[in-house]
């Protein structure tokens, strides 16, 4: 047995006793009007949110608010008539000129306006960060009140890459000048489908 193995064995033998995790049920959020809560918060962090009846309504709003003559990509089959379908097999460097990316998220979080995305829904993990404008579709019944509930949902998941995204990219310098789009999309729009 070498020194490394001895150290690891000693560490394994001397583990502290396990203690139960604290009860966080008191942090459960308000389950009422989650879509409205989400939209209110999302708008305050610089995003645009729309409550729509179906994907067709979202498609119409996209045509109304975005320049679809430029490069638009999507992972949603319902949007391929107006956008190039994303493939995980394409070289990510070819996505440098994306005007708009339209993707689906697993769920939204009402307390902070975030959406949870994994690589399977992004097409490629660079997509939500390299595009000029990001449009995300979530189901109304998938919105959770707080990050506590969000982490309960994703805690046991099996995914290689995932992230919470909340609003357009924002940064500020020491002079407190807010810059949108410095590290990601200039705008983010969420379509909440009833």
Q: How many domains does the chain have?
A: 1
By the 8 A CB rule, do 166 and 113 touch? Answer: yes
Q: Is residue 21 part of a domain?
A: no
Q: For the chain, list residues with pLDDT below 50.
A: none
Instruction: Provide the 8-state DSSP code for 128.
Output: H
pLDDT for the residue 169 = 85
What predicted TM-score, i.e. pTM, was given to this entire model? 0.84
Q: Is residue 61 part of a domain?
A: yes
Cα dihedral angle (86, 89, 94, 100), rounded to 10 degrees?
10
**Range(s) of the domain holding residue 129:** 32-193
Q: Is residue 82 part of a domain?
A: yes
3 state DSSP class of 90: coil
pLDDT for the residue 182 = 76
3 state DSSP class of 112: coil
Q: What is the CATH number of the domain that holds 81?
A: 3.40.50.10420
Q: Is residue 6 part of a domain?
A: no
Distance CA 123, CA 102 (A): 10
The pair of structure tokens assigned to 73 is 């990509």
From the list 29, 167, 191, the residue with the least C-alpha distance to 105 is 191
Q: Is residue 11 part of a domain?
A: no
From the list 81, 74, 40, 46, the residue with the least C-alpha distance to 60 is 81
Q: Give, in degrees to the nearest 5, the angle at Cα 168 between 167 and 173.
A: 115
CB-based burial, 52-79: b 16+ in 10 Å, e otherwise? beebeebbebbeeebeeeebbbbbbebb
């Amino acid at each position: 047995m070498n020194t490394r193995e001895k150290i690891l064995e000693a560490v394994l033998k001397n583990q502290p006793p396990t203690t139960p995790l604290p009860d966080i049920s008191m942090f459960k959020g308000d389950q009422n009007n989650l879509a409205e809560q989400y939209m209110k918060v999302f708008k305050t962090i610089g995003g645009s949110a729309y409550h729509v009846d179906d994907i067709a309504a979202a498609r119409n709003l996209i045509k109304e608010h975005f320049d679809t003559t430029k490069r638009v990509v999507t992972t949603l089959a319902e949007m391929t008539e107006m956008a190039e379908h994303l493939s995980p097999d394409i070289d990510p460097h070819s996505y440098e000129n994306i005007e708009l990316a339209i993707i689906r998220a697993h769920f939204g979080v009402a307390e902070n306006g975030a959406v949870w995305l994994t690589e399977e829904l992004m097409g490629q993990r660079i997509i939500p960060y390299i595009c000029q404008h990001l449009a995300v579709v979530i189901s109304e019944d998938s919105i959770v009140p707080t990050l506590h509930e969000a982490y309960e949902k994703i805690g046991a998941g099996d995914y290689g890459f995932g992230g919470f995204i909340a609003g357009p990219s924002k940064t500020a310098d020491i002079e407190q000048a807010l810059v949108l789009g410095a590290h990601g999309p200039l705008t983010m729009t969420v379509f909440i489908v009833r």
